[in-house]
Amino acid sequence: MRRLWRDELQTISNRSNRILRIGIVAPSGAQALDFMGPIDAFHEANRSSESASRYEVDLIGVRAGPIVSSSGTRLLPDKVIGSDLNLYDTILVAGSLDYQTTVCEQGLVDWLATAAPMARRVGSISNGAFVLAAAGLLDGRRAATHWQAAKQLSAMFPKIRVEPDCLFVRDGPVYTAAGVTAGIDLCLHLIESDCGHATSLDVARMMVIFLRRSGGQPQISAFLKAQSASNTKIADAMEWALENLHADLSVDELAKRAAMSPRNFSRAFQFELRMTPGRYIEQVRVEAARLLLETTSLSIQQIAYHTGFIIPGNMRRAFVRVLQISPGDFRQRSRSQSAIDASQQKAMLGI
């Protein structure tokens, strides 16, 4: 054990001296994973031998005393909101389930309004977007929050362009995530921007999570919807469809797989999923194609074939219907954002 600890210390000492201070604000009533997930992600980045930076993370309470999570778990904060707080490179605010009360925490709102402009970036997780909004940090910006609170955020703060179905959204130096595991997705994105892809991969491996969930992915995945079917015949047919996106996934073919008539299959499917089989298959294929556009160098024609669209024209029309953007524009936007992140990382490193 001593040798392992000594080796870890040596690894840390060999890195750059660049230290990034992270302040994570957790009001009482927040889900523990909304703030502990990011804390663990940044800690795992410190353990990575690939990282050129180190994170120092403070858990910040709104007032003195323990932070009581939504499950009743109590944690003592490192710092408490006040004038003596350090300057932070990054500020993240977790959201309380009682967000109506949290936005009235004037000390928190005032501190954010003062501290955020001095930070390189600021963000929220889940209903923390309400606090950022109360501090005026989201006016005129795009933002995400948990899907259950999206309409309320839009109603309370009409100057915000709420994205109700995104895992996380970046608008300039402001990041907003949908919450829970989406907060970890956001932190992986921040870690990759700060420390490089190898470090974010190390973190994902250590936390045993899927590495690449981009911010634009829907909060409730079409793939996840397949698992919600209680009708085993429908569920089995959908499971087969997910594994064979390039195959004929017409209603007739899916009905055969379910040993049902096409009419009964369509009726049962709509009862389970609240959409037609054709619309669901289109969403699944678009989601699969989007992932390939972001993470591979396959051509649009190749992706269209592998995901069952067969030809690019079919895929383009489906993308515009589902995402209001063409596959080519989506890939270009994704690459442009990656280039911006890489440029910022080089600037921070002085390259």
pLDDT, tens digit, 9 for 90 and up, residues 104-158: 788 899 999 999 999 999 999 999 999 999 999 999 999 999 888 889 999 999 9
Kindly report, as residue ranges, where domains of CATH 1.10.10.60 are found in the chain: 222-333
pLDDT band at 255 (very low <50, low <70, confident <90, very high): very high
Helix/strand/coil for 308: coil
* pLDDT at residue 10 greater than cutoff 70: no
**Over the stretch 281-296, which tens digit does the pLDDT of each residue have?**
998 899 889 888 887 8
Q: Compute CA 270 distance to the chain's CA centroid, rounded to the nearest angstrom.
A: 29
Nearest to 287 by CA among 231, 205, 219: 219
Nearest to 286 by CA among 318, 333, 242: 318
Kindly report, as residue ranges, where domains of CATH 3.40.50.880 are found in the chain: 2-207
Q: Is the pTM of this model over 0.85?
A: no
* Residue 221, pLDDT score: 52
Distance CA 216, CA 116 (A): 24
State mean pLDDT over 189-206: 85
* Residue 138, pLDDT score: 95
Helix/strand/coil for 183: helix
Helix/strand/coil for 22: strand
Give the total residue count for the chain. Answer: 351
How many Cβ atoms from other residues are within 10 Å of residue 151's Cβ? Answer: 12
pLDDT band at 349 (very low <50, low <70, confident <90, very high): very low
- β-partners of residue 125 are 94, 177
Task: Decide the pairing of beta strands 19-25 and 168-171.
Answer: unpaired
pLDDT band at 351 (very low <50, low <70, confident <90, very high): very low
* pLDDT at residue 217 greater than cutoff 80: no
* Residue 345, pLDDT score: 47
Helix/strand/coil for 18: coil
* pLDDT at residue 78 greater than cutoff 80: yes
Q: Which CATH superfamily is domain 222-333 in?
A: Homeodomain-like (1.10.10.60)
Chain position carrying tokens 């992915």: 217
- β-partners of residue 21 are 56
Chain position carrying tokens 């190898």: 198
Residue 165 tokens read as 């179905």
Residue 5 vs residue 267, higher pLDDT: 267
pLDDT band at 9 (very low <50, low <70, confident <90, very high): very low
Q: Give CB contacts under 8 A, 24+ apart, made by 273-280.
A: 273/225, 273/228, 273/229, 277/251, 278/251, 280/222, 280/225, 280/238
Q: What's the alpha-carbon Rg for the chain, to the nearest Å?
A: 22
Distance CA 292, CA 290 (A): 5
pLDDT band at 11 (very low <50, low <70, confident <90, very high): very low
* Residue 3, pLDDT score: 41
* Residue 336, pLDDT score: 65
How many Cβ atoms from other residues are within 10 Å of residue 210's Cβ? Answer: 9
CATH number of 2-207: 3.40.50.880
SS (H, E, C) 53-94: CEEEEEEEECCCCCEECCCCCEECCCEECCCCCCCCCEEEEE
Task: Give the distance between the most distant pair of CA atoms in the chain.
Answer: 69
Residue 3 vs residue 242, higher pLDDT: 242
* pLDDT at residue 186 greater than cutoff 50: yes
The chain-wide mean pLDDT, for the chain, equals 83
Q: What is the DSSP string of 79-145?
A: EESSTTPPP-SEEEEEPBS-HHHHTT-HHHHHHHHHHGGGSSEEEEETTHHHHHHHTTSSTTSEE--
For helices 181-195 and 197-207, give the axis angle rounded to 10 degrees: 150
